[in-house]
């Protein structure tokens, strides 16, 4: 499979480094801020591309994705901080009949953790004594807080706590019973650590995912690229993760 990388920062470089081990070839790199990369996406680049993997900046993403879809090139969106515009992506995908897959986190382990979190919430909600919460840790240069991963984990929990709402902001009052409190830490060099807990007077139940390197994120993005080719529609990676692993690993 021939892949073009849109955005050649840390994640773009790591994706390039692991692509060949998954039978993929990086045919172009687009990043106006990196010497040696193409300054912009072009029709010529897309004519040689099976799938674009996007790890660019959210402020440039909508124009980039629209251009790729208009030229009938499927896209994997690994950028976060843009999902308020998801309806626009869905509209363009339908207009140009070209697929998109996006995710807050493409790590294979994290997507297993999403499933574990949802199952834990399903079990724990039956016992009213337990109060769910979350904590995430990321490196000091991460630009968004809360992370897209934290928001996805909240969605997974709230499926089974429909009366609760998540709370990330500072509060100068006692937490309300209907609030799921999720704390965000930005310090040092954490690739990403997420802890989900359920606390009661009797005990605490914790589950945790710790990312050691970013290669796992890149591997998931490549799996998404291989799966999306030939599909139609817009998919969230965590919602079709079981389908992807079933089809690619059978």
Residues marked as catalytic? 138, 142
Rounded to the nearest angstrom, the gap between the alpha carbon of residue 119 and the centroid of all alpha carbons in its chain is: 20
Nearest alpha carbon to residue 244 among 127, 131, 99: 99
CA 4 – CA 26 distance, rounded (Å): 6
Positive/negative CA dihedral, 42, 231, 102, 215: negative
> In 3-state terms, what secondary structure has residue 107?
coil
| Strand 100-102 to 51-54 pairing | unpaired
Q: Which helix (H) or strand (E) holds 30?
A: strand 25-30
CA 179 – CA 156 distance, rounded (Å): 15
Which residues contact residue 188 at a Cβ distance below 8 angstroms, ignoring those fewer than 6 apart? 139, 140
């Amino acid at each position: 499979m021939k892949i073009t990388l849109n955005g050649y920062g840390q994640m773009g470089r790591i994706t390039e480094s692991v692509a060949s081990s998954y039978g993929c070839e990086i045919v172009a790199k687009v990043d106006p801020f990196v010497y040696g990369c193409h300054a912009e996406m072009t029709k010529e680049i897309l004519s040689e591309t099976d799938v674009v993997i996007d790890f660019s900046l959210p402020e440039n993403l909508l124009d980039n994705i629209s251009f790729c879809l208009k030229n009938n090139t499927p896209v994997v969106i690994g950028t976060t901080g843009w999902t308020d515009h998801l309806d626009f992506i869905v509209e363009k995908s339908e207009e140009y009949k070209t697929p998109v897959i996006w995710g807050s986190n493409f790590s294979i382990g994290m997507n297993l953790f999403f499933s574990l979190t949802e199952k834990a919430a399903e079990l724990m909600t039956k016992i009213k004594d337990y109060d769910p919460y979350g904590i995430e840790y990321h490196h000091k240069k991460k630009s968004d807080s809360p992370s897209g991963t934290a928001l996805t984990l909240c969605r997974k929990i709230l499926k089974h706590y429909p009366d609760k709402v998540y709370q990330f902001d500072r509060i100068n009052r006692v937490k309300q019973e209907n609030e799921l409190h999720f704390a965000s830490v930005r310090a040092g060099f954490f690739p990403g650590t997420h802890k989900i807990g359920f606390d009661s007077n009797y005990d605490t139940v914790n589950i945790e995912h710790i990312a050691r390197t970013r290669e796992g994120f890149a591997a998931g993005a490549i799996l998404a690229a291989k799966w999306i080719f030939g599909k139609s529609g817009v998919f969230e990676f965590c919602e079709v993760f079981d389908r992807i692993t079933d089809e690619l690993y059978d």
